[in-house]
């Protein structure tokens, strides 16, 4: 039978913390439901979350801490992003399938959507724990109190790439396009590298990346200017392309939801006709433009991956 809220909370505190676990103790994905104020809160669209200064700061600070975790820690951004594709190693006791593609993720089959659900739940839970860690370390005061309150309803946001953007804006939110961002801390506002713009490898392991251009880029990149280490992201190109395909993407989603009644007909791109996975592929390729988001082996390192999949 399903466990109740009190048991969930206790289990999360015991096994879901960020502390290094002893060998043989697995991380159990239980969802963030019991970590906040005890009730269920909806996930917000990223542009909606941005309107709420406290939620927004908690999100950015949590993601910044998460991305900063040592890449040798199994709960780090690097290792959790790495579950999806490269490096082709197991995670938390789950080993690679011999003879498989190398990646642990599932694509082109009915379990494409269902594989990604718990994966995203894991990411959300660890993001939450990082955000809570940041807030708990803040010096006492009104800002800490506000952020603590914001944590009560914090959920990882999503990106609605099909939504009609506000006039003068792109389908690619501006918050994802700027290399830096301002955050509010007890001692004032500071500018930090934007954790939604890119993930910077620390270190970049050419071996983990398997050679080629992905072994040269020190950070994740969208529409790269070249295959060399000094290549930069061209988010403006990603934004323009997204804006031109957006009406089509919107009708593809609408058609599927209104005309199709069987999950197996639309779950994945291995079946004839359009599918949620095909639409999702289009977003990957349009955002990536040959950068990380374009390839299954690297896509999850780009922080936009988690907004796209939520
Ligand atoms: N490889 C997909 C696009 C893609 C899908 C993914 O799921 C991914 O992670 C990265 C890229 C295609 O050919 O269109």
pLDDT at residue 38, as a whole number:
81
Instruction: Looking at the CA of residue 112, tell me the nearest atom of ligand 1.
Output: 7
Give the span between the Cα atoms of 122 and 12, in whole angstroms.
12
Ligand 1 center from residue 296 Cα (angstroms):
5
Give the HSE-up count for residue 227: Cα atoms under 13 Å, Cβ half-sphere: 6
Q: What is the mean pLDDT of residues 243-265?
A: 95
Q: Is the CB of 296 under 6 A from ligand 1?
A: yes
Q: Is 108 in the pocket of ligand 1 (CB under 6 A)?
A: no
The partner residues of 184 in beta bridges, in order of sequence, read 189
Give the tens place of pLDDT for each residue, 64-83.
999 999 999 999 999 999 99
The better pLDDT of the pair 100, 88 is held by 88
Q: What CA–CA distance (Å, rounded) separates 305 from 310?
A: 9
Ordered by where they begin, the domains of the chain are 5-309 (1.10.1280.10)
C-beta of residue 55 within 8 angstroms of C-beta of residue 154: yes
With cut-offs at 50, 70 and 90, classify the pLDDT of residue 33: confident
299 lines ligand 1 (CB under 6 A): yes
List phi, psi (to 5°) of 180. Answer: -125, 165
- Minimum CA distance residue for ligand 1 atom 2: 281
Can you tell me the distance from the alpha carbon of 36 to that of 80, in angstroms, rounded to the nearest whole number? Answer: 22
CA 282 to ligand 1: nearest atom: 14
Atom of ligand 1 nearest to the CA of 293: 10
* pTM of this structure: 0.93
Query: Whose CA is closest to atom 1 on ligand 1?
Result: 295
Res 161 pLDDT > 90: yes
Whether the per-residue pLDDT at 21 is higher than 60: the answer is no
pLDDT for the residue 107: 85
Structure tokens at 35: 């970590």
* Residue whose C-alpha is closest to residue 287's, from 240, 249, 251, 229: 240
The 3-state DSSP class for residue 218 equals coil
Give the ipTM: 0.96
Q: How far is the CA of 45 from the centre of ligand 1 (A)?
A: 23
Lowest-pLDDT choice from 24-38, 50-64, 129-143: 24-38
3-state secondary structure of 240: helix
Q: Tell me the C-alpha distance between 96 and 257, whole Å.
A: 35
Q: Give 274's pLDDT tier (boundaries 50, 70, 90).
A: very high
From the CB of residue 55, how many other CB atoms can be counted at a distance below 10 Å? 22
How many angstroms is it from 272 CA to the middle of ligand 1? 17
144: Cβ contacts below 8 Å, ≥ 6 apart? 135, 138, 186
55 lines ligand 1 (CB under 6 A): no
């Amino acid at each position: 039978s399903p466990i109740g809220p009190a048991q969930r909370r206790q289990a999360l505190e015991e096994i879901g913390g960020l502390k290094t676990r002893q060998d043989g103790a697995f991380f159990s994905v239980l969802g963030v439901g019991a970590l906040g104020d005890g009730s269920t809160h909806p996930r917000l669209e990223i542009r909606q979350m941005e309107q709420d200064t406290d939620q927004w700061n908690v999100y950015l600070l949590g993601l910044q801490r998460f991305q900063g975790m040592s890449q040798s820690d199994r709960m780090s951004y690097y290792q959790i992003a790495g579950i999806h594709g490269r490096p082709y190693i197991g995670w938390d006791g789950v080993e690679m399938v011999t003879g498989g593609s190398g990646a642990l993720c599932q694509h082109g089959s009915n379990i494409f959507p269902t594989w990604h659900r718990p994966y995203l739940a894991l990411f959300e839970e660890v993001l939450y724990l990082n955000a809570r860690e940041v807030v708990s370390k803040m010096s006492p005061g009104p800002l800490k109190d506000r952020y603590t309150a914001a944590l009560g309803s914090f959920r990882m946001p999503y990106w609605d790439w099909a939504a009609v953007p506000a006039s003068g804006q792109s389908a690619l939110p501006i918050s994802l396009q700027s290399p830096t961002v301002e955050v509010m801390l007890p001692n004032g506002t500071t500018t930090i590298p934007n954790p939604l713009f890119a993930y910077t490898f620390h270190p970049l392991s050419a071996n983990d990346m398997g050679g080629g251009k992905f072994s040269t880029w020190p950070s994740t990149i969208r529409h790269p200017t070249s295959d060399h280490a000094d290549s930069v992201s061209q988010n403006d190109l990603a934004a323009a392309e997204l804006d031109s395909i957006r009406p089509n993407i919107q009708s593809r989603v609408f058609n599927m939801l209104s005309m199709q009644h069987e999950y197996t007909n639309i779950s994945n791109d291995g079946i004839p006709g359009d599918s949620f996975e095909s639409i999702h592929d289009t977003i990957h390729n349009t955002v990536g433009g040959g950068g990380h988001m374009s390839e299954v082996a690297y896509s999850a390192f780009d922080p936009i991956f988690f907004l796209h999949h939520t």
